[in-house]
Amino acid sequence: MTLIDRFLKYVTFDTQSNDQTGVTPSTDGQMTFARALRDELQAMGLEEISLDDNGYLFATLPANTGKANIPTIGFIAHLDTAPDMSGANVKPRIVQYEGGPITLNQEQNITLDPEQFPEMLDYVGQQLIVTDGTTLLGADDKAGIAEIISAIEWLQQHPEVKHGKIRIGFNPDEEIGLGAHKFDVNLFGADWAYTMDGGAIGELEYENFNAAGAKLTFTGLNVHPGSAKGKMVNSMRLAADFLAQVPADESPEATEGYEGFYHPVALNGSVEQTSLVFIIRDHDRQKFEARKRLITDLVARFNERCPGCVALELKDQYYNMREQIEPVMHIIDIAKQAMERAGVKPKVQPIRGGTDGAQLSFKGLPCPNIFAGGMNFHGRYEYVPIPSMEKAMQTIIEIVRIAAE
């Protein structure tokens, strides 16, 4: 099976995660996909294959050389697709892109247009895999899975390329922030690993946001509006007032690069009770702590003005992996060299988000992030250039080759 055949098969599995179920994996479709992958890996003859009840699938390609001191390297990708848009009945299509807009769905007038997505013009002359405009594609991260398995198959077919022990791991629920929570680093047994979960070709990331989540519950007092003067406390107005005092110019839509933000992601309420959910992000740890203090100080001020009107749940979610990667920067150097050998210019940049690799790094498995090639993740305009996937696969092969050298 070719790399592209594999990918086109994988996207037919509906693997959206769901943060409301409270189980792992959060949806049955992820386990169905994991079982299909397990069967494929068994048919390929891989060793040490394990699939636990939580949907974590591990396997080994044994070393083909007796050379001593070759490190065990891991490659990791996630099974789930984002809850943001349906991943059911995905209908991928390969188009030869020669510029201009691509009609995804003529009936619904859905168009992938470089006026809106100028990065498309970087791929003129290439074949792109696109959606039909009614679902996401699932390149995040089924492209990564296809690239890893196809690279392993290539190595099996080319025993002249010497390599050490290679571990592969596919985990559930990355898109809801739980991908690494039950990942058994000791069982995985790699010296270091790479998540194949980045975007555009060349991306190499070992810095990510420090992240926290804040849930605020505003409590009001509801009385008949005809006799409400001096009595009613409208929790929705409290929430709106609170939101207005969080810096609007420090939002995702107003920041880039290393700039952090406050991002309200959910607002639901009535006169009596309103909930407001934020995510808080910053690459710099001190600035991250300052952002959390701003929220807690605002809560304190509101409760001084209106005792007991707002309750706060504030939890750290993950931290910047840079501090775990810096002591082992040779793993970044290897990835850069591998990309260059594959004819790819490395683009080292911070992740404006999180990655399983961040949590795994803090669990003792250094794990930077490498491009899988997809664009416009999490929505109907997602696409992946086929040459980008091929270069990601080649990069994996070159990494294990360099490590053995």
Residue positions annotated with a catalytic role: 80, 174
Strands annotated E in 134-243 = 166-171, 192-198, 203-205, 210-219
* Contact in structure between 85 and 382 (CB atoms under 8 Å): no
Centroid of chain to Cα 241: 33
What are the φ and ψ backbone dihedral angles of 269, each rounded to 5 degrees? Answer: -165, 180
- State the CB neighbour count (10 A cutoff) for residue 307: 7
Alpha-carbon distance of 141 to 381, in angstroms, equals 15
* Contact in structure between 185 and 365 (CB atoms under 8 Å): yes
Alpha-carbon distance of 261 to 247, in angstroms, equals 9
* Contact in structure between 295 and 277 (CB atoms under 8 Å): no
Which of 37, 180, 150, 144 lies closest to 369, judged by CA?
Answer: 144
Determine the residue type at 48.
E
DSSP assignment, residue 325?
H
State whether residue 376 is helix, strand or coil: coil
Determine the residue type at 324.
Q
**359: exposed, middle or buried (Cβ count in 10 Å: 0-12, 13-18, 19+):** buried
DSSP assignment, residue 71?
P
Alpha-carbon distance of 205 to 212, in angstroms, equals 20
Segment (H or E) for 268: strand 261-269
Q: Both tokens of residue 87?
A: 């991943």
Are β-strands 273-282 and 210-219 bridged in parallel, bridged antiparallel, or unpaired?
A: antiparallel
Alpha-carbon distance of 29 to 26, in angstroms, equals 9
Strand partners, 105: 110
* Contact in structure between 367 and 357 (CB atoms under 8 Å): yes
Alpha-carbon distance of 202 to 345, in angstroms, equals 6
Omega within 30 of 0 (cis) for the link into 92: no
